[in-house]
Structure 1
Amino acid sequence: MKVILVDDERLALIGLQKLLEKEVSGIEIIATYINPTEAMAGIVENRPDVVFLDIHMPEMDGMDLGRQIQAATPGTEIIFVTSYDQYAVHAFELQALDYVMKPIQKDRLKQTVSRVREKLSVKRKLRSKDTDVPLICCFNQIQFKLPGKDIQVAKWRTSKAQELFAYLLHHRNHTIHRSVLLEMLWPELEEDKTVHQLYTAMYHVRQTLKACNMDMVTIQSGHLEAGYRLELGEAQLDSEQWEQEIRKWKVVDDSTIHAYEQALHLYKGTYLGNYEYMWAEPERERLRYLWLYHMRQLSLYYQQHGLAEKVIESTQRIQHMLPDEEESYFILMKLYDEMHNDLGVEEQYRLLTARMEHDLEIPISENINAWYQDWKHGLTKVMKT
């Protein structure tokens, strides 16, 4: 595992490097950086498996650097390091694999490294299963994956051309009437004034597919150009592949647990999640809650087998993917209480408060707040005695 460390405090860098080298085997720290600009250049050059990245840096905010890393080297996992727990939710929103709080505890660091190893293992297995089928990736953003090639992000000429392709892809194998496309893309203009713009956008879509060597995906014009129909040819969608795989496994038991875990790892983000397409929301919700249902089944299996750390890990994944789901925070609060991890309870309550009351401006559920206040009161009584 190749690792790069980034922190504007030299002592913090040295401390993290020593802790990793002492407590974790099988890693190679290929570079450490104090300067974010130099760090970015080193990450692009070395393509590490994981970057430990301090969030609070004066020259460049760690969140901004994290976004640059994800854009330049999508395969690099990011672990945020922070002294301020209010950043944790935002770290997960950026699709970071994990975050650790300063001062870093060795057990927490080992848990984080374990998550990295598992994620890298899944990536290797997926690469080893690479087929001869072109793939259209729809989780988070539209990308294309040709056999034996790296994933490529399409460069759309305009945002209208991008949405046009996304909409036709969403309704693949069905003819969409021209008037529907005109109303969706240019609702403020009269139809006769936008027909030419639709033709131009369609031209750009076809040119983009050609530039990405995705010629097997075709867009057919309907009778008298009344509509358009997108056909995938031999290409497949990663969202469809994932759904087909997860539906193979009806029950989580000792014989299916490994395949179940593998299938759930194929869910890489929200369907077209990087785009504000309201028409995609029903499909987003459907896939999101299909994943959530199976993740809860997996978590229940872990719970029934007394695998507390696995329950925590799976619940954290739910929290990562669905930061607005209160239940994941509450589950972790109760788990940490059972483990007598008071800091863990406090951390989850603060994360939930930050997400609900600060970001979404809605109150925490009364039952969760009541449970926390009872827990806090009980903790205070114990401390006094």
Structure 2
Amino acid sequence: MITTAQTMVQLMNEQRYEETVWSMERILMDGGSVSLELVDQLPNTWVCKSALLLQLQGGHCAYKGELAEAYALLKQAVQGFARMGLQLMMLDSMAQLAAVCLRIGEWQDAQTLLKFLHMEWERKESFVGGKVLHVLARGSYLIDTLKGEDSAYKEAEGLFIQAGANLCCMQLYADRLLDPISDISELELERIGINAEQKSRLDPTLYTWGQFIKGLIHSRREQWEQAITAFSTVKSDELSYEYAALYWIRRIEAELLTEREIDDTLWNQLNRLEAALSSDMPIQLQVCGIRYLQAKWRGSRIDADRLHIKLQAWLELVNNSSYSAWITQWESRLRAQNVTKPNTDRSWNISCFGTLTFINADIEVKNVKWKRKKALELFVYLLIQPDLSAPKERAMEVLLQQVDADKMNNQLYVIIHQLKQTLKQELRMESAIVIKDGTLSFNKQLLGQVDLVNYHNLTRMGDQAWGTDYELAVDFYNQAKQLYGDLIPELHYVDWLEAYRESLVDKQVGILRKMALYYSTQDKRELAEVYYGQWIEIRPLEEEGYQAFVEFLISTGRESEARRWYGKWEQVCRKELGWVPFSEMSKMVYGGSSTGVVEDETI
């Protein structure tokens, strides 16, 4: 027996596209499903003639986080249904379009759509589906005339239950629970929990949704351990991109509020979704928010201040009081934790880039009174070592550089004693330096975040991702780049430290080189130029950065700018280096050609 799907494949193979579209539309109108793979095989001109197929594709794009494509497809679907006078389908597709507009920041379009949908709901002259009421509840903050979004949520839930749309019902529960200003009583929480659990038992495909909702209910009750237990059973790949990102945000939130250190794998999952949902403004806001709150929890004032500015910009752009309430709730919880947590139990975060700074909650210490310069040198030497430890013999050789081993040994013990005394008196660090089995190490329990360590970790993760996941790699590199600066500039004329600083410059150049290359291949010229410029700024006397930038400018047809930058390099050569530049770049600028790709690097 030939199946309907086989019939449609046969019709397409015979290029009988009109009949194929009719068959697909008939299945959809009867409440059935059509394979998107089959729809994608249709010529675009035929898909554009069917509002139903446009709506199907638009909904799938929204599910995958391809919001620009979803916006365009759903807009066409709305127009198609309007032309045909199919009121219910038009309203459903308008609801989907409004939901996408709320995510991409098309506020004017969203407001217009929501006002029309609200008017249709109030008229009660025609049936309004659950999707309409759901999006009205989500977008209620944009419509002054809509009061009591909870009633819209409840009416939408009733319509979803009546239609047997259990997945839509689960999504609605999640949205209610995720809204911090939504007024949900304990009785209502219990009812939602029972309903979600029952639906997930009857339909195994909804198990992940049931656990997600269970975790959100525990979060509402501030039962963070129980929330983590529920969240740990969620399979995020069974959720849409939007809800998967919200799941990771709320899981990390629960982990932070139980004072756990967040595993890199959790952040990696969120970073991937953040990159995939780059046009989803509420998600970007919440990712920024969770990073800001993590910085606050760790006491990383420098990171927190930087992220706070970014977060305020997002809050202004999105202009939804729910997110402001979420951040406010978080900050009040953190303040409560800090009040009840003894100061001696909290570790010090250390900023090495820029003036050496120690941060503990709201305390910031600069200009520590080191008893001797060698005590500071030993402290910095241990900070830059892998695992914050080094063989005692090696430390003596680097710091003291003397022939007499006994004399060096005695001097080192004096320096260690002075360093321990300084850290105890200035920062109340007890037993900060440990000597065991011939190894000097820092007591890690006294340390929180060290920006230098974070810089190396982020760079390492970027290097690991480069070549397989360029977007993720660039995200890690961008975070590392923002940490970089002059390493402890108050410590001058120390040979081993100068060598280490040079290695950091090389690492930063590598980051800028890859980011410039990445954005040049993504047709984001402005960003590529920024990173080429920063590369030249930190290596102003080296030819490689100038040559790479000149190649890029020539590849994009800007020969006059290429000549201007070559002229700058000529001036550097004559005035700073005292020699005439080689002819290779000159030939490139005044008559050669270029691929526009940095040598030995491809994407």
Give TM-score, length-normalised by structure 2.
0.35
More displaced 10-residue stretch of structure 1: 320-329 or 186-195: 186-195
Q: Is the 8 A contact 1:318 1:328 kept in 2?
A: yes
Q: Return the letter of the residue paired with 1:259.
A: D
Q: Return the letter of the residue paired with 1:162.
A: L
- CA–CA distance in 1 between the matches of 2:396 and 2:471? 51
For 2:450, which of 237, 245, 256 is the aligned residue? Answer: 237
- CA–CA distance in 2 between the matches of 1:366 and 1:123? 48
Does residue 533 of structure 2 align to residue 316 of structure 1? yes
Please report how far the alpha carbon of residue 345 of structure 1 lies from its aligned counterpart in structure 2 after TM superposition: 3.9
Please report how far the alpha carbon of residue 212 of structure 1 lies from its aligned counterpart in structure 2 after TM superposition: 4.0
Q: Is the 8 A contact 2:512 2:535 kept in 1?
A: yes
The aligned counterpart of 1:203 is: 417
Q: Is the 8 A contact 1:315 1:332 kept in 2?
A: yes
Instruction: State the Cα RMSD in Å.
Output: 4.2
The aligned counterpart of 1:168 is: 382
More displaced 10-residue stretch of structure 1: 209-218 or 308-317: 209-218
Q: Return the letter of the residue paired with 2:440.
A: Y
Q: Is the 8 A contact 2:559 2:589 kept in 1?
A: no
Does residue 488 of structure 2 align to residue 263 of structure 1? no
The aligned counterpart of 1:57 is: none
Please report how far the alpha carbon of residue 219 of structure 1 lies from its aligned counterpart in structure 2 after TM superposition: 0.8
Q: Return the letter of the residue paired with 1:152.
A: K
Q: Return the letter of the residue paired with 1:233.
A: Q
Identity %: 19
Q: Is the 8 A contact 1:122 1:262 kept in 2?
A: no
The aligned counterpart of 2:307 is: 125
* 3-state SS, counterpart of residue 135 of structure 1: strand
Q: Is the 8 A contact 1:138 1:239 kept in 2?
A: yes
The aligned counterpart of 2:111 is: none
Q: Is the 8 A contact 2:433 2:443 kept in 1?
A: yes
Q: Is the 8 A contact 2:351 2:358 kept in 1?
A: yes
Structure 2: segments with no counterpart, 5+ residues: 1-301, 312-326, 335-345, 593-603
- CA–CA distance in 2 between the matches of 1:227 and 1:246? 27
Match runs of 1:68-87 below 5 Å: none
1:243–1:167 distance in 2 versus 1, CA, 3 Å: closer
Determine which structure has more spread, i.e. the larger CA radius of gyration: 2
Is the helix fraction higher in 1 or 2? 2
- CA–CA distance in 1 between the matches of 2:456 and 2:434? 27
Please report how far the alpha carbon of residue 167 of structure 1 lies from its aligned counterpart in structure 2 after TM superposition: 1.9
Q: Return the letter of the residue paired with 2:389.
A: H
Q: Is the 8 A contact 1:270 1:288 kept in 2?
A: no
Please report how far the alpha carbon of residue 313 of structure 1 lies from its aligned counterpart in structure 2 after TM superposition: 0.6
Q: Is the 8 A contact 1:157 1:204 kept in 2?
A: yes
1:147–1:360 distance in 2 versus 1, CA, 3 Å: farther
1:175–1:186 distance in 2 versus 1, CA, 3 Å: closer
The aligned counterpart of 2:546 is: 329
More displaced 10-residue stretch of structure 1: 232-241 or 187-196: 187-196
- CA–CA distance in 2 between the matches of 1:247 and 1:157? 35
The aligned counterpart of 2:244 is: none
* 3-state SS, counterpart of residue 433 of structure 2: strand
- CA–CA distance in 1 between the matches of 2:371 and 2:569? 40
- CA–CA distance in 2 between the matches of 1:354 and 1:148? 48
1:357–1:154 distance in 2 versus 1, CA, 3 Å: farther
Specify which structure has the bigger relative contact order, considering alpha-carbon pairs within 8 angstroms and separated by 6 or more residues.
1
The aligned counterpart of 1:147 is: 361
The aligned counterpart of 1:8 is: none
Q: Is the 8 A contact 1:141 1:275 kept in 2?
A: no
Give TM-score, length-normalised by structure 1.
0.51
Please report how far the alpha carbon of residue 220 of structure 1 lies from its aligned counterpart in structure 2 after TM superposition: 1.7
- CA–CA distance in 1 between the matches of 2:347 and 2:365? 13
Is the strand fraction higher in 1 or 2? 1
Q: Is the 8 A contact 2:402 2:408 kept in 1?
A: no
- 1:228-249 deviation digits (Å, cap 9, x = unpaired): 3333324132122123234445
More displaced 10-residue stretch of structure 1: 188-197 or 231-240: 188-197
Match runs of 1:177-188 below 5 Å: 177=392, 179-188=393-402
* 3-state SS, counterpart of residue 306 of structure 1: coil
1:133–1:316 distance in 2 versus 1, CA, 3 Å: farther
Please report how far the alpha carbon of residue 192 of structure 1 lies from its aligned counterpart in structure 2 after TM superposition: 4.3
- 1:1-41 deviation digits (Å, cap 9, x = unpaired): xxxxxxxxxxxxxxxxxxxxxxxxxxxxxxxxxxxxxxxxx
For 2:569, which of 352, 358, 369 is the aligned residue? Answer: 352
For 1:157, which of 353, 371, 374 is the aligned residue? Answer: 371
* 3-state SS, counterpart of residue 125 of structure 1: helix
The aligned counterpart of 1:279 is: 496
Aligned pair count reads 252
Does residue 351 of structure 2 align to residue 137 of structure 1? yes
Q: Return the letter of the residue paired with 1:124.
A: R
- CA–CA distance in 2 between the matches of 1:227 and 1:253? 39
Please report how far the alpha carbon of residue 206 of structure 1 lies from its aligned counterpart in structure 2 after TM superposition: 2.1
- CA–CA distance in 1 between the matches of 2:395 and 2:473? 44
Q: Is the 8 A contact 2:481 2:511 kept in 1?
A: no
- CA–CA distance in 2 between the matches of 1:241 and 1:371? 40
The aligned counterpart of 1:107 is: none
Q: Is the 8 A contact 2:356 2:488 kept in 1?
A: yes
For 1:303, which of 520, 523, 535 is the aligned residue? Answer: 520
Structure 1: segments with no counterpart, 5+ residues: 1-119, 376-385
1:353–1:150 distance in 2 versus 1, CA, 3 Å: farther
Q: Return the letter of the residue paired with 2:457.
A: Q
Q: Is the 8 A contact 1:253 1:301 kept in 2?
A: no
